[in-house]
C-alpha cells in the first residue's frame, strides 16, 4: 500500500474530475431550481482559470447541457468536451456523482459526494466515506467538510461576490491498523446565484473568470 498522501491525491482528483451515467431524464423539471448555490440552468456557462504553484495556467469553460438520471435521482450535467460532472441539489443539500475514477493504480467507483449544505451555520461539519482499491486491496477514505466562512464577500478576478460560503475539505485514510490523516485537500468558495467561484488547493488555485447564466 502507498501512503496517505497518494490517497489524498485521489481525493483531489475525485473532486476535480467527474463522469456519470448518460441515461437522459425526460422530466421537464430537472434539478431543484431553488438551490441558489448551483444555478445550473440549461445553456448556462462558467469559465475558470487554473493556475499551478509553478505558474502554469489553463482555462476551460463548463456548460450546462441537460439532465441525467442515476439510481432514480435527476442530476444536471455540467462540463466541456473532455469531462463533465453531475450535480444535484435538494433542499439545500448539494451532491455530485463520479461513477468511476482511476489514478496511479488506485480505483474508486460509485462515488456520491455531498459538497455543500447551504443551510448550516459556520463551523458545521459533515462527512462522506469512499472506498478506494489498489492491487485488489480496498481501504476507506473519510472526507470531512467544514463550513469555515459564511455570508462573506469575496473578490475573485476583480469581481466582488457577496453571500459567499467557504467549505474546507479534509481527508484521512483508514487501514487495518490505523487512520492516516491526509490533511486539507481544498477550500472551496461558493457564491449565491453563481456557484463555485474559487477552489484553493496545495498545488494550484482555480478561479471563476466569467459566467453566463441563462
Q: What is the pLDDT of residue 25?
A: 36
Is the CB of residue 21 less than 8 Å from the CB of residue 98?
A: no
Q: How far apart, in whole angstroms, are the C-alpha atoms of residue 4 and residue 172?
A: 7
Q: What's the grid cell of residue 109?
A: 467507483
**Domain coordinates of the chain in residue numbers?**
4-212
Greatest mean pLDDT range, 1-10, 51-60, 135-144: 51-60
CATH topology of domain 4-212: YmcC-like fold (2.40.360)
Greatest mean pLDDT range, 10-24, 44-58, 60-74, 131-145: 44-58
Q: How far apart, in whole angstroms, are the C-alpha atoms of residue 55 and residue 199?
A: 16
Q: What is the pLDDT of residue 78?
A: 81
pLDDT tens readout for residues 183-201: 888 899 999 999 999 999 8
pLDDT tens readout for residues 31-84: 444 689 988 889 999 999 999 888 899 998 989 988 888 777 788 888 776 666
Amino acid at each position: 500500500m502507498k501512503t496517505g498522501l497518494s490517497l489524498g491525491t485521489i481525493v483531489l482528483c475525485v473532486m476535480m474530475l467527474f463522469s456519470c451515467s448518460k441515461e437522459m431524464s425526460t422530466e421537464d423539471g430537472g434539478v431543484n431550481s431553488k438551490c441558489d448555490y448551483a444555478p445550473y440552468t440549461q445553456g448556462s456557462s462558467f469559465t475558470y482559470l487554473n493556475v499551478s504553484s509553478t505558474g502554469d495556467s489553463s482555462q476551460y469553460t463548463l456548460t450546462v447541457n441537460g439532465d441525467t438520471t442515476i439510481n432514480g435521482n435527476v442530476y444536471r450535467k455540467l462540463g466541456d468536451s473532455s469531462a463533465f460532472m453531475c450535480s444535484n441539489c435538494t433542499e439545500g443539500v448539494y451532491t455530485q456523482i463520479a461513477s468511476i475514477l482511476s489514478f496511479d493504480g488506485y480505483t474508486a467507483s460509485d462515488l456520491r459526494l455531498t459538497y455543500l449544505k447551504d443551510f448550516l451555520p459556520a463551523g458545521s461539519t459533515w462527512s462522506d466515506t469512499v472506498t478506494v482499491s489498489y492491487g485488489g486491496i480496498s481501504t476507506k477514505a473519510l472526507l470531512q467538510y467544514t463550513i469555515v466562512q459564511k455570508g462573506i464577500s469575496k473578490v475573485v478576478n476583480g469581481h466582488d461576490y457577496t453571500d459567499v460560503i467557504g467549505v474546507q475539505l479534509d481527508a484521512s485514510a483508514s487501514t487495518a491498523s490505523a487512520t492516516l490523516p491526509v490533511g486539507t485537500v481544498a477550500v472551496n468558495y461558493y457564491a449565491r446565484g453563481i456557484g463555485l467561484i474559487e477552489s484553493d488547493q496545495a498545488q494550484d488555485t482555480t478561479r471563476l473568470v466569467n459566467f453566463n447564466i441563462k
